[in-house]
Amino acid sequence: MAASVPSQPSVEATSPLDYDAIIIGAGMSGMYQLHRLRELGMRVRVFEAGTGVGGTWYWNRYPGARFDSESYSYGYSFSKELLEEWDWTEHFAPQPETLRYLNFVADKFDLRRDIQFRSRVASAHYDEAARSWAVELDDGRRHRARFLITAIGVLSSPTMPRIAGVETFEGKSFHTARWPHEAVSFEGKRVAVIGTGATGVQTIQEVAKTAGRLTVFQRTPNWCAPLHNRKIDAQTMAKIRAEYSDIFRRCQETFACFLHTPDPRGTFEVTPEEREAFFEKLYAEPGFGIWQGNFRDILTDRKANAAISDFVARKIRQRVKDQAVAEKLIPRDHGFGTRRVPLETKYYEVYNQPNVTLVDIKATPIERITPTGIKTSDAEYAFDIIIYATGFDAITGAFDQIDLRGVNGLRLKERWRNGPQTYLGVMVEGFPNMMMLMGPHTALGNIPRSIEYNVEWVTGLLRHARSAGITRVEATPEGVASWTDHVKSLGVGLLSNEINSWMTGINTNVEGKQTRIIARYSGSAPAYRARCDEAAANGYRELALA
Ligand code: NAP
């Protein structure tokens, strides 16, 4: 695909570059990208809004935050030494441990000297004459680099509910993704949690342990499954360490990079007894097996999906004593696994505690937040603390927060007005020299595995550009159209794409995010990598290089 690009600029000398590359964000992807670009000998600067590294694991300090994928499948795999030196203490590590891990990585690879903290990027404008990006921080400082790499996360732009009176509450209130660094005590307190996604579920089961009174405001119940977490002793860690290469090889081979992979059988290819026994086995096992390792058709065949949904509904009815409450906790508007499955530890049993109340706000909507609490259509509740577990403006939200402009001042938000359009989820036509890590249309799944691949691919592209003296890299219209069509076609027939969730770009709290979009790549991770590998192997001929 040929595309015409402007000839080599002549004004470069008048607008010197501060860096070869600017990376936005010091989470798992920004940290690893920094490490790799340094190895290429590039001058790199990372701008990070927080005061430390870790991204998701820096911001999400809410009580109960922890991995839902196995710790040893989640950490970086690129350094044997790192794998040797770090011990995980739980199969599903809690957030403080993960943050310690990421700080350990930052120390080990001496990353902090190229990271500027407390530095939120306000705008990034492409300058065609200088073939570079002009980046402005929210304190007005400006920096210029040849390449701009966004490492801003998929779930990093938290959203507060659009409920009247939020600002009037006189007690303490927190969004889970903006949790304070100091401990919050719930001892004897009247606590409200709004939101019952993966975050809300983790928060609720923790807060219920100490709160004087906990009231959960649920709009849509989700299908949750047991996490079955355990400690890792020294002997088990030694075994894990010996198996690391096998663990990461398995992650490379599975559909979504988890240790779990779909069972090759169809739900109705076995007898009812075998089916029930298989569901029981999965329900008793740790992690995402019941979601990612279930019969191959549960996320595409309605009857198969109904079978597993019915199984989990029965479990909820068994675990919750008050059957009226159990019925409220069973989802009616979507089947099991069509939204991200929250993993839980005694979540359903929380509703058997005398100090916990579930309020179904579809039946009795919240009318307003008051100075003393929450008023629904049929009651007024007083609280000391309100916790907003109300989620994120996902996938494109973090891009919308930055004034990103490409060729001729075109805004990215405008470019994506009708949904994201990308080349391999990494590049956008009209935004030369900008690469996205975990951008829209990339494979999500076990995210660090996808991050490592994404970073390696971008590193390969920049290595190629440097060795060939290329100073301008842009996606072509054909490349973008073909990838975007491909991503859309992969989404056809997936039940999850017929459901409102952050994965389909829905956020009721954000203007303009009420229409479903195909925001993520829903093919297999191996297929995604094969396609990207092929693009590199053919010399990036689908890109316009100059
Ligand atoms: P979420 O799944 O989007 O859930 C947000 C919750 O808030 C939903 O229950 C939503 O109800 C509710 N809500 C939003 N606005 C509301 C309003 N105005 N009034 C009442 N309720 C409102 O967000 P999340 O729980 O933060 O999770 C997002 C993703 O982060 C997860 O799916 C997962 O991928 C990731 N995560 C990962 C981990 C882990 O790995 N361990 C842990 C937590 C989160 P509706 O459903 O009705 O919109």
Q: Which pLDDT belongs to residue 80?
A: 97
Q: Which pLDDT belongs to residue 469?
A: 97
Query: What average pLDDT does the segment 366-394 reach?
Result: 98
Q: Residues with beta carbon inside 6 Å of ligand 1?
A: 66-68, 155, 161-163, 194-200, 202, 219-220, 340, 361, 389-392, 502, 508-509
CA pair distance 268, 302, nearest whole angstrom: 12
The fraction of the chain above a pLDDT of 70, given in percent, is 97
Q: Which pLDDT belongs to residue 15?
A: 62
Segments of the chain assigned to CATH 3.50.50.60: 11-53+111-157+394-545
Contacts (Cβ under 8 Å, ≥6 apart) of 30: 23, 24, 46, 48, 55, 149, 151, 437
Contact status, residue 522 vs residue 437, Cβ threshold 8 Å: no
Residue 118 amino acid letter: R
- Closest C-alpha to 7, from 405, 516, 544: 544
Residue 215 amino acid letter: T
What number does the ligand 1 atom closest to the CA of 92 have? Answer: 41
Ligand 1: distance of its center to the CA of 197 in Å?
4
| Tens of pLDDT, residues 168-196 | 999 999 999 999 999 999 999 999 999 99
Mean of the per-residue pLDDT values for the chain? Answer: 96
- Closest C-alpha to 404, from 59, 55, 24, 56: 24
Contacts (Cβ under 8 Å, ≥6 apart) of 188: 211, 212
**Token pair of 154, please?**
């998929």
Mutating to test ligand 1, I would choose from 333, 367, 502 the residue with most ligand atoms within 8 A of its C-beta, which is 502
Output the CA angle 48-52-57, nearest 5 degrees: 95
Is residue 133's pLDDT more than 80?
yes
Could you give the 3-state DSSP secondary structure of residue 307?
helix
CA pair distance 203, 186, nearest whole angstrom: 12
Place of tokens 């196995």: 70
Ligand 1: distance of its center to the CA of 128 in Å?
40
Contact status, residue 49 vs residue 79, Cβ threshold 8 Å: no
Query: What average pLDDT does the segment 283-290 reach?
Result: 98
CA pair distance 196, 15, nearest whole angstrom: 50
Q: Which pLDDT belongs to residue 16?
A: 86
Q: For the domain bounded by 11-53+111-157+394-545, which CATH number is listed?
A: 3.50.50.60
In this structure, of 103-112, 134-143, 227-236, 512-521, the range with the lowest mean pLDDT score is 512-521
What number does the ligand 1 atom closest to the CA of 69 have? Answer: 40
- Closest C-alpha to 154, from 442, 455, 511, 486: 442
Residue 328 amino acid letter: K
Q: Which pLDDT belongs to residue 461?
A: 98
What number does the ligand 1 atom closest to the CA of 196 have? Answer: 9
Q: What is the pTM of this model?
A: 0.96
